[in-house]
Structures are given as C-alpha cells and as structure tokens.
Structure 1
Amino acid sequence: MRSYQITEWSHELFRLQVKPGGTYIDATMGNGHDTQFLCELAGETGKVLAFDIQEQALETTEKRLLEAGLRERAGLVLDSHIHMENYVEAETVDGIYFNFGYLPGGKHELATKADTSVLAVESGLKLLKKGGVMALCIYSGGDTGFEEKDRILEFLKNLDSRKYIVIVNQYYNRENNPPIPAFVVKKG
C-alpha cells in the first residue's frame, strides 16, 4: 500500500494532468526528488528547469540526476523561483511543481517565505500553457509558521475562476498541521 505522503499524492495527481515530452519547472529544487520526478515525466524529448537559491541544493540534485542517468534533461538554476520569467517564455510550460518550506537537511531559517512564494506562484501562472498544471505542496506550523500557507491559499482562492481551476486537498484526519496539496489548472 502506498503511504500517500504529500509528495507522492501530488506526483500522482500531477501525472494525470500532463503528458511526457513537455516542459516542466521545479520551482523549489531542494534535494532533487521532484526534479527527478519531472525528468522522468519529461522523457527524452522534454525538458526541466529547476530553481533553488542554495548551492547545496544544486549539488545534491545534480548528483541525484547523474546517478539516475537523467542529468541531460534538466537545467539547474541557482536563482530564486521569483525569477522564473527570466528563463522561460510566457505560456510555454506544461507543468510547475512547488514544494514549499526548507531544504531537508539544510538550514531551517532559509525556508520559503510568504511574500516571495506568492510572487513566484503568480509568475508561474504566466508561464503555464493553457491546460498546464501547477502543483503546490504547502506546509505550516513548526519552523515555517502559518503566514506562508495562509497567504498562498488566499491568493489561490482569489484567482479568476474563468481562467483557472483551483483544487485544494487536505488530510482530514491528520493532526499537527498536516501539509496541504493544491493544484491549479490554467483553463484552455
């Protein structure tokens, strides 16, 4: 039986919305698990851009992709996800994946923040093709507090329903501020 941790759940639902061979962005590279997932999804004809502000994230992700034989499918960018628009043209991306919070094994004080996270989501929506999907793994409590979760969810709630479908899931019977998987589909 699957454990359905937030990333597994988000990967499954993301996979249902996109096709192999597309262009994908990992907006929060971290240790490269989502980058690897996107590279596998992209296949030999697709491409992935992955962003992080920490050199450690790029090094760990590059090692992971080399070991998996997927390094040539990804461009690893040492830059904030708020600058995605500098690397990709508008309406050319099939899918964007966010996994907010901090780098597992890294410094917790270098976690994503509400202001920049909302800007990055807004930027990402401009990059999505019609029919493109954005997955967001949103955490709260503990080290990251609640501000980022609340601000992202408020932003998503106010997206124009004529342009976007927003689906927010929840772990209904889990305690201690469980993560929230959310999805945005840009209407075609």
Structure 2
Amino acid sequence: MSTKIIIIIGVVLILIAILSGLKRSIISTKFGIPAGILGVLMLIYTSYSSDLVKYNRQIEQISIGNKLKVEGPVNITKVISPIDKDSVDCRILTMGVYPESNENDIWVLIRPTDDKYYPQSDHTNTSYKRDGEWQVVTRFGGDLGEAYDLIVYEADASASNFFSGTIEQWKQADSYPGLELEELPLGAKEVDRIKVYTRKNCRGVF
C-alpha cells in the first residue's frame, strides 16, 4: 500500500473519530475512538517512512568517502569523492568539480548489478553547483559488497527535465524500476565513471 493511501485512510479515520464525538452523530464513540487512534498511528507511521514528510530528510545520515586532491585548473567535469574502487555506505555525498564555463546541469546516475540506471537527487533534483564544485546525495540499496557504476552526466535542459520528471513519477508511484540504457535522453553526456562497492547490506534501507 502506498504511503499516500495510508495517509488518506488515516485522515478519514480521524475525521470519523471527530464526528463520533458530535451530538446527534450516527457514528458510535465505541467505533470512533478506536478509529481515531488507528488513524493517528497510521499518520505517525507515514511520518517515518514517507517523502511527503521531511522528518526523515532532517535526520538522514550522510557519509563522506575518500576524496581525491585536485590541483591546477579544472578542465573537465569529474567526481572526486568517492574514489574509484572505494567501499561506500548506504547514503553518501558524491562530490566533484567542473569547469566554471560549464552551464549544463550535472547528474549522477548509479547502475547496480541489475544493469538499470537510477538518477540521484536531493531536494533540488539536480546536483548542487557552485564555484566549480558540485555535490549530490547518493543512495544505494543493494547487498553487502554489491558493485555499482557511479556515472556522471552533463545534461542539457531537456535531459535534466527528463530526469527530474522521472524521479517525480517514481515517487508518486512509490516504485523505482530504473531506466534502461536506451531510455536515457540524448541530451545527457557521460563525462566520468567510477566503480564502488557497498560496505554493508543496504537492501530495504529506503
């Protein structure tokens, strides 16, 4: 059952409880009070599990992996943390650099062993860019030691809108099926790729 449906049911049960307390109500308080309690519990549950409530976002623990040292002028967009062949936690902050002349959006996609592509985002969807540096929260959901390709793309406006729209659709459906290679937009250009491994079992974390 999706979190949106749980929220709707919870609200309805609370309304039933309120109506049962009114004079001349056709709803018995013997039914209304348990319904209200159940509705409150359902809303509390969704507050811990749903993206609709920002509680999880506020306490989400993000780790930072090993980081490459960057010297001299930056001529290409690339990832500097984590580093290639690194072991990573379930949630990390992927960081990189880019030439300041680059006006395209930067996206990180991960490809686990199912060969599907999963665009990564935080509240802004696209990676945060400023003063030649970029970063984005990256989440892994696989088994201990599972290998992931972490791929960096520069995306034009059309490609960036595609990735943002895809994420929104997945969130609304509460399903994240991934993208096939042929589904990736033409306006997304791969600029860097590394391989990382999960250092713990992340399955079912999200």
Give the TM-score normalised by structure 2.
0.22
- The structure with the larger Rg is 2
Q: Tell me which protein shows more helix as a share of its residues.
A: 1
Give the TM-score normalised by structure 1.
0.24
